[in-house]
Amino acid sequence: MKITSEHIHDQNKQYQADHDKQYNFLADQLTAKGHDTDQILNRLSEFQVAVPSWALGAGGTRFGRFSFYGEPSSLEQKIDDVGVLHALTQTAGAVSLHIPWDIPSDYNAIKEKAAALDIKFDAVNSNTFQDQEGATQSYKYGSLSNTAQAVREQAIQHNIDVINIGNKLGSKSLTVWLADGASFPGQHNFQTALKHTQDSLKTIYKSLPDDWKLLIEYKPYEPNFYSTVIQDWGTSFMLANECGEKAFSLVDLGHHLPNSNIEQIVSTLMFKGKLGGFHFNDSKYGDDDLTVGSIKPYALFLIFNELVYGMAHNPQNPELAWMIDASHNIKDPLEDLIQSLEAIQEAYAKALLVDQQELKAAQMDHDVVKCQEILQQAYRTDVRPLLAAARLKTGGAIHPIESYRSLAVRSTLIKERGKHTTATGL
């Protein structure tokens, strides 16, 4: 299914008058406080988030998986689904592919399809956490860290293959997330596992084109439950430094132990010019991969506050690769992604409203109460009319979820694809 500008125009008619009223009210308030609303709208329009190819179908748990029907069963259909998201939200202008799930059979056709929908290819992801059909070596006991050289070599070669596939599509970064670790004390020699991982990453790095980035993701536990080789931002940062100037850390919001101060991690990495990418999701307990902003929206705002500060003050840090990394077990994946995209834009818009100069002055005065007031003043502003206005500017929907439903996207997809299609992925 393709959503046309006529579809959206028709949908928006019913909401336009209300939207204008709400937007004008908010814009007047913001202008009175000295904000440049046009500039905020531009920043929101420019902020594009990559949709992960693996989140377009229903996810699963260790205990079961329930299809949402009409799921995309080919890369072409996945791109179509991102096209639906982008047409409605105007903020999903990129897709992040996972190899080997998404190897194109016809590169030119895929590139043309994506270009027609205004979608770029963001970071490509390698997969050494599952054994692939026909592979000679198994990743059961690790990949880049494995004690067996043949396994490490196979995993290194896979990452190089992924770079080559991404290169043909116009991607500019490789994300490496390793499941490598130990489930029991004594299983690993920590130093040997880390050394092997470091050497393997350095070998992969040698195959990285000059204008590419290597994004190194970390995670404290799962699927291994005693130790993970790249367990935290410090390990990722150290490995990125060992690799070189094109290697960076990638922060996945779900990859921290409970109550970690993620905004401080973000800030530290940007200060050192080493934050390369971001995976959005939300969680209550662990790597729950829930809808962005559904559990801890204030924490997301605080993270964005550091990102906005870093983007303005840390020229040493590159432009970030923004991606969603979530899993949808009981919601329509496309509706869930629309909610996530909206939550990201909301947190970003609120962070843009933080008066950084006033905050700095309050910090210098040690006026702790005022510091909190400044942050919460921004956080409590209902920025949704700004988001809608930013979408409207480029032809998006005033109310993406409502329009998705009244355009009957899911039932059309089921008609087109059948009920029992399954997306490749997690």
Write out the residues near Mn ion by the rule CB under 5 A.
252, 279, 325
- Comparison of 77 and 327: residue with beta carbon closer to Mn ion: 327
- Comparison of 80 and 336: residue with beta carbon closer to Mn ion: 336
Cβ at position 219, least distance to Mn ion in Å: 8
- Comparison of 251 and 423: residue with beta carbon closer to Mn ion: 251
Cβ at position 108, least distance to Mn ion in Å: 29
Cβ at position 353, least distance to Mn ion in Å: 28
- Comparison of 299 and 323: residue with beta carbon closer to Mn ion: 323
Cβ at position 282, least distance to Mn ion in Å: 13
Distance between CA atoms of residues 257 and 322, nearest Å? 22
Cβ at position 158, least distance to Mn ion in Å: 18
- Comparison of 7 and 274: residue with beta carbon closer to Mn ion: 274
Cβ at position 233, least distance to Mn ion in Å: 13
Cβ at position 175, least distance to Mn ion in Å: 8
Cβ at position 254, least distance to Mn ion in Å: 7
Count of Cβ atoms closer than 10 Å to residue 150 Cβ: 10
- Comparison of 54 and 205: residue with beta carbon closer to Mn ion: 54
**What residue type is assigned to position 385 of the chain?**
P
